[in-house]
Structure 1
């Protein structure tokens, strides 16, 4: 078997163990591995990442559902508005942003602010209240639509962007993590389907790398379950600092590559 399949499985497992407890699928960190180490071409790397989310998502979600954490209606409200956004983002990615240089700039523009945000919110936390108010219905809809569009372009489902924003409102991670993972899973299904259709009309490498995406997803399926199971035992501050540092470092690296 090709070494990239085993490498993808290991990467998906390790990343998901760390990211699932905070409601992130891990695709945001898997993407640079696929581009730089596993050689997945752009823009095919985006639907491959969405395929990873589809396969990996049920692991953590099953565990959260078993613990009763998915009974909240927040996930349904987020999914309703991220779905149309991710389809629009897929079209933008294929027809407007196919070049690797532009894509690296987009990666940097997303990862660097995300990492900085996570670190700042960890070092200067907002007091989390069990009864913290959600954003208003229009604000939540606008946020979810915007994140869905960006997630469709980037191939991350949007959970890694929704989580920090909702956490800044004071909402507890025990409520955010299951909802953002459910959103990521659902929008990734829609995004992967959109890319499969767009591949018929585009001459470039738009279709996902199926075997690699499945291997990464299998690793994520196992890692996501383990991460969700470990959530009550892991210090949230350490996890957020780790995620923020990784995101900021990767964003800086891709910014340097894009301008080189």
Structure 2
């Protein structure tokens, strides 16, 4: 157990430092580590990821709040939309998608388009990018957040890793997108982890989280998220987005091959 705790701490810290500046908790990249390195069974891997978000989230959020980046209604609208979605997603994950083969395919379906989108958006010349768009309507934001909440509940990522790229592509600046996406991730992860705890009482499978691993990764993410949020104004945004895109594409491709073989 000792090596697992220290390895989880290091993994959570390193991933959160890189992902927090762009509004991603890091759980989207930590999940394959849980699956392949630590051997967390399915579907327990999803609440373990949510537990990471719950523990790690306050680090970056506290820093963003201190800098005044959480002001405005964007975070509130995203939270309102994602909360019911994550409850539905958790139920789907436990009762309809328990198999590891389906789970690997789901990872690939989510990460491949996300990674390619990030890479293309980052590498596209500025003259080919659309001008900054107006913020989506409240109804559109709620619908988007609801759909992302369902996916996040199934996948255990809270939804911020999907909300961030979508909103950034709409022209919203990362200084607004990152804090709001992380706030939605944190809120939905709290609800999602609670739902999984309840569902673990109704299911005979591995539904409860791996507490030691989730907590150790979360503590690392707590520190890493704070550092990442603090470094956001000093880090090249395009480099971070490209790095996230490459990571997502690589991980998605690996699991696509595993799922199809």
Does TM, scored on the shorter chain, surpass 0.5?
yes
Shift of 1:128: 6.2
Give yes or no for contact 1:128–1:171 (8 Å, CA) kept in 2: no
Helix, strand or coil at the partner of 1:157: coil
Mapping of residues 100-119 of structure 1, within 5 Å? 100-119=100-119
CA distance in 1, matches of 2:259, 2:4: 25
Q: Does 1:98 align with 2:108?
A: no
- Give structure 1 stretches of 5+ with no counterpart: none
- Give structure 2 stretches of 5+ with no counterpart: none
Instruction: Note the alpha carbon deviations across 1:40-77, whole angstroms, 9 max, x for none.
Output: 11100000000000000000000000100011210000
Q: TM-score, normalised by structure 2?
A: 0.97
Give yes or no for contact 1:12–1:218 (8 Å, CA) kept in 2: yes
Instruction: Note the alpha carbon deviations across 1:201-248, whole angstroms, 9 max, x for none.
Output: 111000000111000000000000000000000000000000000000
Task: Name the structure 2 match of 1:120.
Answer: 120
Q: Does 1:88 align with 2:97?
A: no
Helix, strand or coil at the partner of 1:171: coil
Shift of 1:127: 5.5
Task: Name the structure 1 match of 2:148.
Answer: 147
Helix, strand or coil at the partner of 1:202: coil
Mapping of residues 213-224 of structure 1, within 5 Å? 213-224=214-225
CA distance in 1, matches of 2:2, 2:207: 22
CA distance in 2, matches of 1:128, 1:152: 33
Task: Name the structure 2 match of 1:64.
Answer: 64
Runs of 4+ aligned structure 1 residues displaced above 3 Å come to 125-129
Shift of 1:136: 1.5
Root-mean-square deviation over aligned CA pairs:
0.9
Task: Name the structure 1 match of 2:172.
Answer: 171
Shift of 1:253: 0.1
Mapping of residues 1-260 of structure 1, within 5 Å? 2-124=2-124, 126=129, 129=132, 132-260=133-261
CA distance in 2, matches of 1:76, 1:128: 25
